[in-house]
Structure 1
Amino acid sequence: MLAWVFFGVAVWAVHGLPRRQAMCLMIAGGIAVTATGLLAAPTTSTDSYRYAWDGRVQAAGVSPYDHAPAEAALAPLRDRWLFPSGTGCGGPDRYPIPSAGGATSCTRINRPGVHTIYPPLAEAYFLLVHGLSPEGARHKPLQIGGALLALATSAVLLIALSGRAGFRDRAPAYTACYAWCPAVPLELVNNAHVDALGVLLTVIALAVTNRHRVLGGALLGAATAVKLLPAVTVPGALSGILAAGGKTPARRMLDALAILGAVTLVVALAYLPYVLASRGSVLGYFSGYVDEEGYGEAGSKDRYALLRLVLPDSWALSTALLILGIAVLHVLRHGDADRPWRGALVVTGVALLVFTPGYSWYAVLVVALVALDGRWEWLGVPLASGAAYLGAGAVSGTVAYALAALVVTGGFVARARIRSSPARIYGRSSL
């Protein structure tokens, strides 16, 4: 929490600096903040161990979707780092696995009895990192990859914001919303979550899609093939497609098909090699994950936490989908086609508030969208997500998400009042 306070104060301070000074400070600060994630082994997640394993399995010519890490068929690929034994199994975050002869055996890989859940371009990234890593490098190449992707995202944000009319002087401060956010070094660098690649592709896609719809759609498809969450930003790319007036219905249909067709084609092409190479389902553990995390049965986990405060558990899923559908329809009808990131932020933020996921790295996408759009109130969502993941229990997560929803609502009301103020109407607003 203290890191978030310092982050907010620092970003606010940058707003008042001359552009050159703000630019230098943002770049230096972004590099320093990112580098902090490289100082230790993963601290709050074990997902990167699965990444390293999946890369190793693919390098051996085996589809990661065919075997779980605990299966004996992959035993020749094991080493003492990912699969300790004896006293090495006494450390934290160790998961027992069957072993011959009754010896104590375990792994650092979570859920070792299930197949991988990651989409194909994530798997391709794991293979690439494995191929570029020196022998015995362990987790560090994945962390370095996360750092490079995070810095690349900051660079794209800075370039995109600097090229936007009226944003040149504000670009460093807006970029700092992402580059300095505490969630970035923790989740994308230290824990090396592959979301770093998905966020980068999403930011590039939304920055270009209003001018190059096919390219934007293709990049969103690639982001979705890295981590499924970026799919919720697709309505943002279609902002205003159902608005009254403007383009003809035929033109709108062509625009929508250009984006949706590119998304679908890239996702299909990404999955195709793994479909051909795998004996099992390339969806991996996805259905099991949905059940395990309580998305299908609201009462079993802390999902839909805000909705369950006022509704029966049995209504939670349908209500969440209804609210999300309303948000999507609003963006399609009233969204700004010149600012697709705004619609993407609304739909993504609403999705996280109604589903209240328990993993904090999902919300890093919101941080990047805030940097693109500047609606700071949505930063409450990643802060709440972090509290839900690292907090003491369900109550802390629910309270955090509730506070985030209140902040978002307050920001919406405040902006609505500014838009309707006489100074704004007659062109005298300074905002």
Structure 2
Amino acid sequence: MKPPTAPTLPPLPAVPPLPAVPTAVAALAALTAALVLTVHHDGYFTDAAGLFLRYAACWVLFALALLALRRVPTDRVVPLLLAGTLAVTATGLVAPPRTSTDSYRYAWDGRVQSAGISPYDHAPQDPAPARLRDPWLFPTGAACAGPDRAPIPGGGPVPHCTRINRPAVHTIYPPVAEAYFLAVDQLSPHGARHKPLQIGAGLLSLGVSGALLLILRRRGQDLRRAAYWAWCPAVPIEAVNNAHVDVLGVLLAVTGLGLVAERGLRRRAAGGLVLGAAVATKLMPAVVLPGALSGVRRIRDAAAVLVPAAAFTLLSYLPYVLLSHDSVLGYLGGYVDEEGYDDPSAGSRYALLRLALPDSWTLPVLLAAMTGVSLYVMLRGDPGRPWSGALLVTGWAFALLTPGYSWYALLLIALVALDGRWEWLGLALAGAAVYLLAPVFGHRPALSATAYGAAALVIVVAAVLRRRWETGRPGAGPRPETAGGGQRPFDDRIRNS
């Protein structure tokens, strides 16, 4: 007699996957709504911790939107990417600048130049250009009670103040940035305030997205990478809402690297020229120059990039040298002192190095480390992918310098979009954490070391896992660029999804 058998249950119905496009649209809509709420929240001085929580929530939704984008069919990626880019960028326009007053200096520099005065000759509080002041940039009376107002001396019994930070010092911005400020002022309607600069920054941000798509298409790379820039919360907040001129430098740097990656000395020379314009916008893009020299074996190839870059940077200062009576370097030296870059014992710079080294060692070790990374990129990098080496140099410069201003990372984000190594985005979030939370909780060096240390740990772990994945593929060894954390191997999976 056979033992009784258990009844056979019918197979469970297969759970259909969520529709790819509607899921991505929903994630993108949630990200856009969260960004609007974050930009509307005027809590930098009153609720910085709450503001950071909103910002962190935007980053979580950003990650979910990127995951959803992976499953979107290739033929629908570009329309969805462009629609999301417009929506995310527009969120930066819904309120005045929230976490930075730099754009007020831009507006003043543009106005001074329109009056035929060099922006390098007078500080905003100097009496000489006082006739150019208006109540928007230079409030009086009760309007001076705001926490972002700096007092102006010599105002008499009625308080005089300005929205411009550091009103006692001359401008710090290089000539291409100053030319941009002048252009915005000339194109702005009379009495316009912050909105023209925000709109200009929004257009530049869209230009970066377009340049990324063009370069990725020409190189046969997955266009989804452009979303690392186009949908990143830092872009509408720092590039658009705060209208930081860094976005112009990013556009020029991305364009320059795209030209350098093309074959031929003329294209490389054109790329060097554009990279020089990027350096003459904010100086920081100079950090991508080792990447632009990736794999260069001949002196003429290196000279084709460096000579035009140096020539443009120097010549762009010439009109202002002729126009100005004071130094065109402005407050640059004072800024370096103020930020503690020349004194490791001050501030929160070199936070990770200071965990293991005496203060007197940090600067020499930093210089040695960055020299080593730069030489590695120039000797072992892929000349067809200069942004890969540029990301490596820029990323480790951020990790070792531990800057406290979140908008500096805009350049890093664009390089991630070109190269695809998403893990470097953690440095951008670390900078935001230091910038927003340090004034609230204090202990800036410890906070900086914690935030940047966590980001660096993610980078190292991801590089190790990527190397194992690359070397574990049948018949495939590590590519030259992956030895430094290189090209993102998961792009093949994305492309085939």
* TM-score for the superposition, normalised by structure 1: 0.94
- The alpha-carbon deviation at position 314 of structure 1 amounts to 1.4
Q: Secondary structure of 2:93's partner?
A: coil
Distance in 1 (alpha carbons) for counterparts of 2:68 and 2:473: 29
- Mark the structure with the bigger radius of gyration: 2
Amino acid at match of 1:340: P
Distance in 2 (alpha carbons) for counterparts of 1:406 and 1:312: 22
Q: Secondary structure of 1:134's partner?
A: coil
- Identify the residue that residue 324 of structure 2 maps to in structure 1: 278
Which of 113, 117, 125 matches 2:168? Answer: 113
- The alpha-carbon deviation at position 210 of structure 1 amounts to 2.4
- Identify the residue that residue 243 of structure 2 maps to in structure 1: 192
Question: Is residue 2:355 matched to residue 1:355?
Answer: no
Which of 398, 402, 406 matches 2:453? Answer: 402
Check whether the contact 1:198–1:226 (CA below 8 A) recurs between aligned residues. yes
- Identify the residue that residue 97 of structure 1 maps to in structure 2: 152
- The alpha-carbon deviation at position 426 of structure 1 amounts to 8.0
Deviations 1:146-184 (A, max 9, x none): 10000111011111112223x2xx20x211110000000
- The alpha-carbon deviation at position 99 of structure 1 amounts to 2.0
Equivalent residue pairs, number: 417
Amino acid at match of 1:99: G
Deviations 1:164-220 (A, max 9, x none): 23x2xx20x211110000000000000000011000011111111122110110010
Q: Secondary structure of 1:72's partner?
A: coil
- Identify the residue that residue 372 of structure 1 maps to in structure 2: 418
- Identify the residue that residue 300 of structure 2 maps to in structure 1: 254
Check whether the contact 2:249–2:285 (CA below 8 A) recurs between aligned residues. yes
Q: Secondary structure of 1:216's partner?
A: helix
- Identify the residue that residue 120 of structure 2 maps to in structure 1: 65
Distance in 2 (alpha carbons) for counterparts of 1:17 and 1:303: 42
Question: Kindly, what percent of the aligned residue pairs are identical?
Answer: 57
Check whether the contact 1:69–1:112 (CA below 8 A) recurs between aligned residues. yes
Amino acid at match of 2:476: I
- Identify the residue that residue 157 of structure 1 maps to in structure 2: 212
- Identify the residue that residue 219 of structure 1 maps to in structure 2: 274
- The alpha-carbon deviation at position 26 of structure 1 amounts to 1.0
Which of 216, 230, 233 matches 1:182? Answer: 233
- Identify the residue that residue 44 of structure 2 maps to in structure 1: none
Check whether the contact 2:269–2:308 (CA below 8 A) recurs between aligned residues. yes
Question: Is residue 2:93 matched to residue 1:38?
Answer: yes
Which of 6, 11, 14 matches 2:69? Answer: 14
- The alpha-carbon deviation at position 257 of structure 1 amounts to 0.7
Amino acid at match of 1:63: S
- The alpha-carbon deviation at position 398 of structure 1 amounts to 2.0
Distance in 1 (alpha carbons) for counterparts of 2:422 and 2:123: 42
CA distance change for structure 1 residues 422 and 256 in 2, over 3 Å: closer, same or farther? same
Amino acid at match of 1:137: A
Which of 434, 437, 446 matches 1:391? Answer: 437
Distance in 1 (alpha carbons) for counterparts of 2:71 and 2:147: 45
Amino acid at match of 2:273: A
Deviations 1:67-126 (A, max 9, x none): 100101111111101001110100120001112434311100000000000000000000
CA distance change for structure 1 residues 426 and 307 in 2, over 3 Å: closer, same or farther? closer
Distance in 1 (alpha carbons) for counterparts of 2:119 and 2:200: 20
Distance in 1 (alpha carbons) for counterparts of 2:212 and 2:305: 22
Amino acid at match of 2:349: R
Check whether the contact 1:388–1:398 (CA below 8 A) recurs between aligned residues. no
- Identify the residue that residue 247 of structure 1 maps to in structure 2: none
Check whether the contact 1:67–1:74 (CA below 8 A) recurs between aligned residues. yes
Q: Secondary structure of 2:103's partner?
A: helix
Q: What's the RMSD between the two structures over aligned residues?
A: 1.4
Distance in 1 (alpha carbons) for counterparts of 2:75 and 2:195: 34
